[in-house]
Amino acid sequence: MRFETKFDRWLVVVLVLAAVATCVVIPALRILAPGPHPGPLWGPVLPLAIWLIMLPCTLPQYYEVRETGLFLRQGWRRSLIPYESLVELQSRSDSMSAAVYSTDRILVVTKEGKRFVIAVAEEDRFLAEVAKRCPQLDRRNFGLGMPLAPPSMF
C-alpha cells in the first residue's frame, strides 16, 4: 500500500521564492550591474547548480507498506526496513532539518539505531497499517513504540 508525502504549501512557496531569488534575480542583478564584476564569472550560477543537485536528492518521495517491510523513497535514497527491526514511529511537529517539505513528520527508529524522518499525507492510516504488521509495537499518543517495561517491585 502506497502513501504519498505531505507537503506544507507555505514551505514549498518559501523554497520556490528562495530558488527564484538565488538562481535568477540575484545573478541577473549582478551581471547587469554597471561597473566591474569582482569574483569568478561562474559565481552567479552556483546557486542554480546547488538547487539542481538538491532536488534529485529529495524528490520524489513516497512510502510503501509492503509484505517484506516498510519501504521509504526519498529522492535517490531507497530503504526497505523489515518490520521486525522497527522500534518506534514517533509523530513530530517541529522544524527539525530534514529532506521532507513538511513540519508534520514521523521519526522512524530501528533496532540498529538508524533514524529516518518522513512526512506522510495520511498519518493515521499509515500508522494503522504499520501497526497491523508490527505486533512488537504498541499504539501510543505519539505514534507506535516498544512496550514499556513493567515497574519493578524494588
Q: What is the pLDDT of residues 53-66, one digit of tens each?
A: 888 888 999 999 99
Domain containing 127: what range? 62-145
Say if residue 153's pLDDT is above 60. Answer: no
Same domain, yes or no: 78 and 139: yes
Same domain, yes or no: 114 and 66: yes
Q: Which residues of 63-92 are buried (b: 16+ CB within 10 A; e: fewer)?
A: bebeeebbebbbeeeeeebebeebbbbbbb
- Asked if residue 132 belongs to a domain, the reply is yes
Q: Minimum mean pLDDT among 12-16, 70-74, 99-103, 146-150: which range?
A: 146-150
Global confidence as pTM: 0.82
Number of domains in the chain: 2
Same domain, yes or no: 43 and 106: no
Question: Which has more pLDDT, 27 or 72?
Answer: 72
Per-residue pLDDT at 43? 73
